[in-house]
């Protein structure tokens, strides 16, 4: 199940674990990324908390935790090569995997058509 937030994060949900990244729209708005700071594995975040930071030649921005949960894996590849987020934001450019406290909370997030309306 693919979901989106109004803050331009995407979530690919598989059971109670969500793979989280920023949308292609967000990556395009940021421009070429030069730095990514990822959260620590095992860290717990509430929905809306700053979970990661991205810096581009244009600006720095936070990546928010889309739902309550615990970080169970981070994508070290994007810390080593931030351009992966620009080239494949909804694939190899994922940020972290989040074990959801309550997977049903994802129902309140945007589906793809609602997200497309938001950015239109």
Please provide the DSSP assignment of 14-32 as one string: ETTEEEEEE-HHHHHHH-S
What is the predicted pLDDT for the residue at 91? 96
Residue 52 pLDDT more than 90? yes
pLDDT per position as a tens digit, 53-102 = 999 998 899 999 999 999 999 999 999 999 999 999 999 999 999 999 99
Interior/surface letters 85-111, b for 16+ CB within 10 angstroms, e for the rest: bbeebbeebbbbbbebeebeebeebbe
Say what percent of the chain tops pLDDT 70.
100
Cβ atoms 69, 98 nearer than 8 A: yes
| Closest of 97, 61, 60, 90 to residue 76, by C-alpha | 97
């Amino acid at each position: 199940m693919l979901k989106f937030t109004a803050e331009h994060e995407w979530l690919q949900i598989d059971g109670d674990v969500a793979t989280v990244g920023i949308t292609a729209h967000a990556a395009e708005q940021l421009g070429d990324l030069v730095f990514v700071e990822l959260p620590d594995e095992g860290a717990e975040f509430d929905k809306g908390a700053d979970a990661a930071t991205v810096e581009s030649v244009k600006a720095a921005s936070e990546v928010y935790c889309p739902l309550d949960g615990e970080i169970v894996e981070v994508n070290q590849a994007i810390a080593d090569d931030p351009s992966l987020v620009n080239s494949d934001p909804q694939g190899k450019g994922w940020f972290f995997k989040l074990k959801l406290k309550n997977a049903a909370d994802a129902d309140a997030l945007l589906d793809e058509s609602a997200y497309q309306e938001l950015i239109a």
